[in-house]
């Protein structure tokens, strides 16, 4: 069964850090483009970051560039989003996804999604 499962969300103060994980099962992450998206209440889902098949290239939304780092561990079949210097506007449900399109910034570029993990940043 093809599945993505996120973990690592939680409540953190502004300026703090969190690391999100997304574990894949039923397929090899290294064969896919990987992405993170987030959705705040009342807002549309927005692109956060993307990682190319072998991890050689990354894309970041301007809002997170310099603060977030997206990387993968093919041995663990898991991808990670390291989030530093978090801001209240980073709050939302973070979802990982995989696809086959590169570059990839749109939800439509990704075909398999995790269930999401909540991140709340207090001011």
Give residue-wise pLDDT tens across range 55-112: 889 999 999 999 999 999 989 999 999 999 999 999 999 999 999 999 999 999 999 9
C-alpha dist (Å) from residue 104 to 9, 34, 37: 24, 9, 11
Give the model's pLDDT for residue 82.
98
Which is nearest to 97 in space by CA: 12, 22, 13, 1? 22
Give the model's pLDDT for residue 73.
94
Q: Which residue has the tokens 């549309």?
A: 44
Give the model's pLDDT for residue 99.
97
> How many angstroms separate the first and last alpha carbons of the chain?
40
Q: Which neighbouring-strand residues pair with 4?
A: 24
Percent of the chain whose predicted confidence (pLDDT) is above 90: 94
Give the model's pLDDT for residue 56.
87
**Distance separating alpha carbons of residues 25 and 123, to the nearest angstrom:** 36
Percent of the chain whose predicted confidence (pLDDT) is above 70: 100
The pLDDT-based confidence of 10 (bands split at 50, 70, 90) is very high
Q: Which neighbouring-strand residues pair with 66?
A: none
Strand ranges across the sheet with 18-25: 3-7, 18-25, 78-83, 68-73
Q: How many CB atoms lie within 10 A of CB 60?
A: 18
Range with lowest mean pLDDT among 4-8, 13-17, 25-29, 54-58: 54-58
Give the model's pLDDT for residue 54.
83
């Amino acid at each position: 069964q093809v599945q993505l499962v996120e973990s690592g969300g939680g409540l953190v103060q502004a300026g703090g850090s969190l690391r999100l994980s997304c574990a894949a099962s039923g397929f090899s992450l290294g064969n896919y483009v990987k992405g993170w998206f987030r959705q705040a209440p009342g807002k549309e889902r927005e692109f956060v970051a993307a990682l190319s098949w072998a991890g050689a290239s990354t894309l970041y939304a301007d809002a997170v560039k310099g603060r977030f780092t997206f990387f993968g561990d093919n041995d663990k079949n898991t991808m990670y989003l390291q989030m530093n210097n978090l801001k209240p506007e980073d709050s939302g449900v973070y979802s990982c996804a995989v696809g086959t399109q590169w570059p990839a910034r749109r939800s439509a570029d990704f075909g398999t999604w995790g269930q999401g993990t909540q991140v709340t940043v207090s001011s």
